[in-house]
Amino acid sequence: MAEPQNFMRVPDPTPKRTLYTDAMEIFHRAADTIGLAPRVRLELEEPDYEHIFYVTAKLKDRLRPLSPEAARSFGDLPATQVRDPNGLERLADGQILLNGKALLGSDVNIRRGHLRLPDGGVYQLIPGESQRFKAYRVQHNQARGPYKGGIRYHREVSLDLFKALAAEMTWKTAIAEVPFGGGKGGIQIDPRQYGKEELEAITLRFMYKLKRLIGPNIDIPAPDVGTNGEIMALMMRQYLDGENERHVGRAIVTGKDVRIGGSEGRVKATGQGVIYCVEDYYADRGETLKGKTFIVQGFGNVGSYAAEIFAGLGGRLLAVNDYDGTIYNPDGIDVPALLAYVADPKNLKRSVAGFPGAQKIDKKDFWEVQAEVLIPAALGGEITGEIAEKVRCKLIAEGANGPTTPEADRVLLKRGIDLIPDIIANAGGVTVSYYEWIQNKRMESWTEAEVNAKLEHALKRNYRIIRDISRNNPRKTEMHDSRPFCVGKQVEPRLAAMILALKRIEAHYIIEGFSQ
Ligand code: NAD
C-alpha cells in the first residue's frame, strides 16, 4: 500500500515569485505595519473567485500581404478591381479583412489563392476560420461593495496578471471611497488584428458567458487597455438583451457613451485624476503646473488626456513613448497637433510614431529625458530597477496600473524621486465610473462641471490623507481627516496609500463581521 503522504501535495517551502506575489508585497508590508487582523489578511490575500472560460468566434476571410520578393512570382497577375472598397477593412498588422460582399460583383483575378489589389500589392486569400480565445474574470473582494474593474483585451494577459489587477481595484475603490470592491478580467487577444464585426462577435460571446457571473449589484465591468465605450455598449446590449426591465440594468457596465447612459467626464476621468493629483502635489509646495516639463509613456486613453490637461495648465510635454515608437522635442510637443495626428483614421496603429513635430528617439533614451514629471500610462512593470536608476525626473505620477516594480520602488526611494502611487493617481476612472453608476440607478445625468468638481474633491481629499500618513502628520482640516489613518511613523507614499485602503476595508470586517 502506498504511503499516505504520496496522496498529499506538500506545499512548496519557498513559493514561486510571480507578478501577483510581487504586487502583493506592498499589501503584506502594510498589513504588518498596521497589524491587520489575521483573518482579514487571509480574506484579502487571495481573490474571492477566479473564473477562466473560453470564447469562440468565426473569423472573416482575410488578405495577407506578400513580401515584395514573394510577390515577384505574380508579376503578371492583373489587379482585381474592387467594386466596394468599403468592404476592405485594413488592420494594423497589414492584413485586409473582407467584409460582407467585398468582392462580389467585382472583376476578380485569383491565381493560386492570390490576388493583386489596385494599390499594386499582392495578397494571399486566407479563408476565415473559427478561433478560440481564453477569457478571465477575477473577483477579488466585495467587503465594501460589488466587484468593480476593467475589461482588458490584450495578448499578454494571464490569471496571475488579472489577480494582481483585481486586487489593485480593491485597494483603489477603498482609497477613492467608492462603495465597491475589486475585480478585473478580459480576453487574451490583440484587438488590432481583428475587424470591427469580429470584435463585436467576440465581445457578445464573451458577455454571453460572463452574464451568469456579474450584475449591476454584483460585478460591474468598465473599459481598460484595448477596450472602450463601444465595447461597453456591446456588453450592455448583450447583458440586457430580451430583459423586461432593460432601463434599470444600464449600470451593468460603466464607461459607456454619454448618449446611452455614460457619464460626462468619464472618458477623460483617469487622465484628469492623474493631473488633479499632480496639481495637488505642487500646490502643497506653493507651485502650479505652469512651465513644468513632463514626459508620458503610453498615449492611449490615460496618457493622451493627462497630456492634454497638463499642457492646458501650462505644462510642456517633451517626449512620448508608446508601443510603436518614441518621439522627443526639447522645445515642447504641440499636444493638440499630436492628438489630431494619433486620431487620424489613416494612422492605423493610433501611434505617436512618425509625428512630424518631434524627432524620433530610442525607447531607452526616453527614460533619460530630463523633465520634472514622468507619467507612465502604458502597461505594468515598465519601470524596472535598472530604469529607475536612469530616470531624470523629480516626480512619477502613475497613470498606469503597477508600472513600477518593487525593486524600482526601492531605487526611486533611495534616489529621492517622489511618487504618486497608481491606486490614488489613476483612481479618477473608477471614481467617475461610480458617478455613472449612481446616475444610471437614479436616472439622472450630471454636467461635466459637476462631475469634475466632485472628482477633484474626492481625489485631492484622499491624496492629502495619503500624504499625511506618509509624513505622519495626523490632522483634521475642512477637507480631510487623516487622524484615524496615521501610524505613528513616516512611511513611503505607496505604503501610505495601502495603509489607507486596508484600514478602510478592515473596518467592514471588524464592524460587520464575517458571514458564515
Ligand atoms: P489604451 O489601450 O488606451 O492605451 C495604452 C497605451 O500604451 C497605447 O498608447 C499603447 O501604444 C501603449 N503601450 C502598450 N504597450 C506598450 C509598451 N510595451 N511600451 C510602451 N507603450 C506601450 O489603455 P489605457 O486605458 O490608456 O490604459 C493605460 C494604463 O492605465 C493601463 O495600465 C491601465 O490599466 C491603466 N488604467 C486605465 C484606466 C482607464 O480608465 N482607461 C483607469 C485606471 C488605470
pLDDT in tens, 6-33: 555 565 666 688 999 999 999 999 999 9
Q: Report the SS3 class of residue 132.
A: strand
pLDDT tens digit sequence for 114-129 = 999 988 899 999 999 9
Average of per-residue pLDDT across 455-483: 97
Q: Identify the pLDDT of residue 132.
A: 98
231 alpha carbon, distance to own chain's centre: 14
Q: Which three cell numbers stand for residue 175?
A: 482609497
Residue 1 has pLDDT above 50, yes or no: no
Taking every pair of C-alpha atoms in the chain, what is the biggest distance, in angstroms? 81
Q: Identify the pLDDT of residue 246.
A: 85
pLDDT tens digit sequence for 266-296 = 999 999 999 999 999 999 999 999 999 999 9
Q: Which of 102-106, 123-127, 176-180, 196-200 has the lowest mean pLDDT?
A: 102-106
CA of 158 to the centre of ligand 1 (A): 17
Q: Where does 313-400 have alpha helices with state H?
A: 335-343, 363-366, 385-390
pLDDT band per the 50, 70, 90 thresholds, residue 106: confident
Q: Identify the pLDDT of residue 12.
A: 62
Q: Which residue shows C-alpha cell 449591476?
A: 216
Among 322, 351, 423, residue to substitute to test ligand 1 (most atoms within 8 Å of Cβ): 322
pLDDT band per the 50, 70, 90 thresholds, residue 143: very high
The CA–CA distances, whole Å, from 254 to 371, 434, 438 equal: 35, 8, 10
Average of per-residue pLDDT across 129-143: 97
pLDDT tens digit sequence for 405-454 = 999 999 999 999 999 999 999 999 999 999 999 999 999 999 999 999 99
Q: Report the SS3 class of residue 468.
A: helix
Q: Is the CB of 273 under 6 A from ligand 1?
A: no
CB 398 within 8 A of CB 147: no
CA of 377 to the centre of ligand 1 (A): 5
CA of 59 to the centre of ligand 1 (A): 26
Q: Calculate what percentage of the chain has a pLDDT beyond 90.
A: 86
The DSSP call for residue 213 is G
Q: Which of these is catalytic: 148, 184, 256, 292?
A: 184
pLDDT tens digit sequence for 333-357 = 999 999 999 999 999 889 999 999 9
Query: How many angstroms separate the CA atoms of 315 and 293, rounded?
Result: 6
